[in-house]
Structure 1
Amino acid sequence: MAAATPRQPFVCLRRLSKTKRTYSTTTATSPLPPSPPPSGAAKLSTRRLISLHGPDAPKFLQGILTNNVNPTSHAPFFAAFLTAQGKVLHDVFVYPTLGSNFHAENNKSGDAGFLVEVDEQQTSNLLKHLKRHKLRSKFALRVLEEGELDIWAAWREDQKWTPHSNISGEGCNTDTEGNITMVDTRATGLGQRILLPSTTSLGTHASMQGLHDAGLDAYTIRRYMRGVPEGQDEIPRDDVLPMNTNFDIMGGIDFKKGCYVGQELTIRTHHTGVVRRRVLPVCLFDASSAPPEKIVYDAETAFATPERNTEIKIQGKRGKPGKWINGVGNVGLAMCRLELMTDLQVTGEPSTFSSEDRFIVKGAGAEEEAQTLGIKAFVPDWMKSKIRAPKLQRRVE
């Protein structure tokens, strides 16, 4: 009689530590974080890892992820889990573990293994989602304990990392020390993501020599200035389509792969629809001043950051050009109607954008006391190069 397969240790999700997100709101009197350094690193304490290990793990993930899971590739990638209606459930990074120290220490067999990085607030929800679809698939599933692996972001001003510039060579998922690493290709200049044992000192890791811990705020500000949303606070569960949050232009969707949960609406929108709303980087400023020419983080001037989903308005006009999402100081993200807030041409119809329009948003606080702030949206170069030219398409909100 075959020996029983040992059960994975039980992890009580209610006991998982919760990380306070200090960057989600800013008051006019609270101190602002300093400007991000040209080179630095940040431990992403707002993210968590789930391990999948077993012979059916690649096939299982292939059927529920927006990106292609190649069982012969060790390269990590960015992707999303969707609802059947095509709405985003979770934004994730997927790290194949074969060839890494983690795989050698935790998965003694030669079966495929993956680590799925998700918003820490959504760990229990993603675990339930995976178990719901697991059925009889043969793989083990567990949440990594605190102290197993830390998720780090690292960037250097003098290095322009590309998907093929990992330390160990093209298509590899590990560095020279056996740690899992990947290039964050969602937008230009985001740097690398590295999974390190919690006992590792920052200065002792080969690819992080000379880097200092700049803190989570530095990483967040850099993301905001590039227009990259992340996590439940910025990509609400079951609320938006992946194109609205830029998954299509951040490399999070493979439009050539086969069926997966939520594919039908996603592929139809891609081929026949118009994406009129997208997440863009925005800059707050004094409403009585001229709008800034470019987006620059100002650590000296504090605004009462608007509450999430605060409506953006056109000064002196009617219309709903967008909603504020999140921010730090004077920079943040907003869901913007492209034809109202930018000069991007997304349809064959005449553009309604006017360079004379001024956009405003209410800062946090009581309605009668809230400060009216100017707000301007920017389209980064990486985004301009990837948004498709207009053609005759039907409207999709």
Structure 2
Amino acid sequence: MPPFTSYWRLRTPISTLSRHFHAALPRLLSSGPQQPSSSAVGPLACRLGSRSVVRFRGPDAAKFLQGLLTNDVRPLAVPALAAVGSDESSSHFPTPNVSLYHPPPIYAALLTPQGRFLYDLFLYRPPPADHKLDRTGSGPAKGDPHDPLTLLADVDAVVLDELLDCFNKYRLRSKVDIENVSKEFACWQRFGGDLSNAAPSTQEPEAASVGWGTGIDHAAESSAQGNSIGWKWCKDPRLDCLGYRGIFPSNTVPPLVESDKEADERHYLLCRLQQGVAEGSTEIPKGV
């Protein structure tokens, strides 16, 4: 048989086999079975073990952070009555577990004097007790209006000790206490399921139907977003598609977290990397 004849006989099956091999290559290289995306399986929630919580407490807390971070921290120090009016941060009516005003979290970074990246953090203001109703719902809860401002920071756990040393170095005479409260609080993320476009009545339909008539009870919707002591889910300040983020007591499970929807943190990592969002000093190199 002439050489060119055998070549043409083999060319077709070889090219077909090559196409099938390249089509199957991604499946062969994968470490396990293909998993559905988080948007397909619905809202997932995970406890972020890679993050820790730092508390800034004192009359100079906002002023101290304002002079160090890249974002404007002053909205977190605004009194509730002066800030009411924002659709995202104020509920329709105060409830025993959700205050009238809940400022959204602030994402900021701490830089070197030369303007290079060091650490990133999410800042939250815990809900004051006197901004909510008491357990009977008949009046404001008891709280000391003269308590110093308290802010909680969601930070990278890998560099926690370095971050604390850095803030304490800059504290000087500022009246602010800085301490690690990771044993008391934990960071959570709720993502997937097109949460950015979902209305509160869709997230918690039973809460929306509470009340009189056929209308939507907005106070019930607002209460469903928070736990029994006022800690609430907030929209991720970076991108809406990342869902909701929050700090909650470490001995409780946040609201709206179903038992079969609590996922491993790796699912959130995959969701975040698909959006091209880096987080923490591990993914954002220092000095950049």
Same-fold call, TM > 0.5?
A: yes
Contact 2:236 2:242 (8 Å CA) reproduced: yes
3-state SS of 1:189 partner? helix
CA offset at residue 187 of structure 1? 2.1
CA offset at residue 37 of structure 1? 2.8
Higher strand residue share: 1
Tell me the equivalent position of 1:175. 226
Deviation track 1:88-147 (CA, whole Å, cap 9, x = no partner) reads: 10111011124279xx9xx9952111111111011011101111110000011100142x
* 47-56 vs 181-190, greater mean Cα deviation: 181-190
Contact 1:153 1:194 (8 Å CA) reproduced: yes
Gaps (5+ residues) in structure 1?
A: 1-27, 241-397
Looking at structure 2, the residues matched to 168 and 124 of structure 1 have their Cα atoms a distance apart, in angstroms, of 41
Tell me the equivalent position of 2:193. 157
Contact 2:191 2:268 (8 Å CA) reproduced: no
3-state SS of 1:59 partner? helix
Gaps (5+ residues) in structure 2?
A: 1-28, 84-102, 131-140, 202-217
Looking at structure 2, the residues matched to 61 and 168 of structure 1 have their Cα atoms a distance apart, in angstroms, of 33
Amino acid at match of 1:179: W
Tell me the equivalent position of 1:34. 35
Amino acid at match of 1:230: E
Higher helix residue share: 2
Counterpart among 49, 52, 70 of residue 48 in structure 1: 52
Looking at structure 2, the residues matched to 133 and 152 of structure 1 have their Cα atoms a distance apart, in angstroms, of 29
Distance 1:116 1:221, change over 3 A: same
Deviation track 1:270-307 (CA, whole Å, cap 9, x = no partner) reads: xxxxxxxxxxxxxxxxxxxxxxxxxxxxxxxxxxxxxx
> RCO (CA 8 Å, sep 6+): is it higher in 1 or 2?
2
TM-score by length of 2: 0.61
3-state SS of 1:52 partner? strand
CA offset at residue 197 of structure 1? 1.8
CA offset at residue 83 of structure 1? 0.5
Aligned-pair identity (%):
31
Looking at structure 2, the residues matched to 229 and 156 of structure 1 have their Cα atoms a distance apart, in angstroms, of 17
Are positions 1:99 and 2:128 aligned together?
yes
The structure with the largest alpha-carbon Rg is 2
Contact 2:38 2:191 (8 Å CA) reproduced: no
Corresponding residue pairs, total: 200
Looking at structure 1, the residues matched to 128 and 54 of structure 2 have their Cα atoms a distance apart, in angstroms, of 18
CA offset at residue 34 of structure 1? 3.4
Counterpart among 189, 192, 212 of residue 261 in structure 2: 212
Amino acid at match of 1:144: V
Counterpart among 145, 158, 170 of residue 121 in structure 1: 158
CA offset at residue 208 of structure 1? 2.5
Looking at structure 1, the residues matched to 219 and 56 of structure 2 have their Cα atoms a distance apart, in angstroms, of 24
3-state SS of 2:38 partner? coil
Tell me the equivalent position of 2:171. 134
Looking at structure 2, the residues matched to 211 and 117 of structure 1 have their Cα atoms a distance apart, in angstroms, of 26
Amino acid at match of 1:153: Q
Tell me the equivalent position of 2:70. 66
Looking at structure 1, the residues matched to 124 and 265 of structure 2 have their Cα atoms a distance apart, in angstroms, of 21
Contact 1:95 1:180 (8 Å CA) reproduced: no
Distance 1:130 1:90, change over 3 A: same
TM-score by length of 1: 0.45
Are positions 1:230 and 2:279 aligned together?
yes
Looking at structure 1, the residues matched to 150 and 233 of structure 2 have their Cα atoms a distance apart, in angstroms, of 15
3-state SS of 2:188 partner? strand
